[in-house]
Amino acid sequence: MSLLNRFIPAHLHNPAGLALRLLRSGDPDARGAMLHAALGIGLMPLDVLLGIRERRLYATAPSPERPQLFVCGPPRSGTSLVTQVLIAHLPVAYLSNISALFPRAPLVAEPLVRRFVGPWRPAYHSYYGRVASLAGPNDALQLWDRWLGPDRSRVREALSAEEALAMQRFFGALEQRSGRPFVGKNNNLNLQAGAVADALPTARFLCLTRDPLFLAQALLRARREIHGDEAVPYGLAAPDANGPDAIEGVCRQVIHHRRTAEAQQARVGPARFRFLAYEEFCANPASTVTQVARELGIPDRDVSAVSSATRFTPSSSVRIAPGDFARLRDTLERMLSSAAGAP
């Protein structure tokens, strides 16, 4: 099971049910995610062999000098779209779906496989963060398991010396191969950026926020569509976000993410950890691309321009039963009011 969990997260209580829901969705990115999981299992023997070469890269890699930008934030807050736009318009290194197929040897496997799959052509679409193209961006959570541990529900306050060194050597080896700054996504870093920032002094964090009501609605829908069980939180959540009352649970999850992210910013510092409102990004993605390019030290001449006409429309419609939405709104308003009045 530990091998299967590299491709099928351990927190999924009913993988067969999820597979059926993915097929029923009709979404090509959802079906791509299923295909990638099957390919990853089949490619395990090759991954083991390539891992021998990969370890040699780490052994001689220096600490990275160029910055790494990690896009993070609550699940369903727009992190996938922001990451895709940044990768599409900036000359940066990123981890693709190929890296997820070869979790032991992502750096060795990438150039070997990329010649057969060609470049990624961004469509600015994903199914819960997954894209069908093998060259498309991937969260690379299997890699993060090396440094943060395989229990993805556990929030790390600090890394061991061995974990920190392994992280430094990986990003050092990646930098040696690409010669570029790095952009990647890991939603969970909004709750544990401090541990990564201590281990990786060149890391920066771009934390997404979203209108709390529509974030809560999206989290509720994710519980239903991904887990098939409203009582199971989608993504990291506070212990009190569990339980039979899913509406109260997602509201607590929204507040927990915001409070914890603010604590991470206070620990890391606003120069390295900054917030970006999803709605602000959608209205003017070019502004975010320009600002990130400067933060990463990328000259303006190397930035692929974002058309001034490019805009995205954040979902702001009622997508659950009206009664559920009304209760969600009232519950969130009550909890936010209570949180604001707390000492």
Q: For position 4, what pLDDT does the model report? A: 47
CA distances from 259 to 1, 117, 307 (A): 35, 42, 35
**Nearest Cα to Cα of residue 142 among 16, 30, 8, 52:** 8
With pLDDT > 90 as the criterion, what percentage of the chain qualifies? Answer: 74
Pairing mode, strands 203-209 and 273-277: parallel
- pLDDT tens per residue across span 250-289: 999 999 999 999 999 999 999 999 999 999 999 999 999 9
**pLDDT confidence band for 3 (50 / 70 / 90):** very low
Residue 301 one-letter amino acid: R
Q: For position 343, what pLDDT does the model report? A: 55
Distance in angstroms (rounded) separating the CA atoms of residues 257 and 42: 36
Q: For position 342, what pLDDT does the model report? A: 61
- Measured at the CA of 100, the angle between CA 110 and CA 146, to 5 degrees, comes to 105
DSSP letters of 50-74?
Answer: HHHHHHHHHHHPPPP-S-EEEEE-S
Residue with structure tokens 């990647």? 184
| CB of 25 closer than 8 Å to CB of 127 | yes
- pLDDT tens per residue across span 65-118: 999 999 999 999 999 999 999 999 999 999 999 999 999 999 999 999 999 998
- pLDDT tens per residue across span 42-66: 999 999 999 999 999 999 999 999 9
Second CATH level (architecture) for the domain 4-341: 3-Layer(aba) Sandwich (3.40)
**pLDDT confidence band for 155 (50 / 70 / 90):** very high
pTM of the complete model:
0.92
Instruction: With H, G, I as helix, E, B as strand and everything else as coil, classify residue 181.
Output: coil
Q: What is the mean pLDDT of residues 310-334?
A: 95
Length, in residues, of the chain: 343
Q: For position 240, what pLDDT does the model report? A: 73
- pLDDT tens per residue across span 11-34: 455 566 666 666 667 777 787 787
| CB of 203 closer than 8 Å to CB of 197 | yes
Q: For position 55, what pLDDT does the model report? A: 96
| CB of 41 closer than 8 Å to CB of 7 | yes
Distance in angstroms (rounded) separating the CA atoms of residues 237 and 149: 17
Q: Tell me, rounded to whole angstroms, the distance of Cα 84 from its chain centroid.
A: 11
Beta bridge mates, 209: 277
Least confident range of 12-21, 194-203, 219-228, 236-245:
12-21
Q: For position 341, what pLDDT does the model report? A: 64
Q: For position 10, what pLDDT does the model report? A: 47
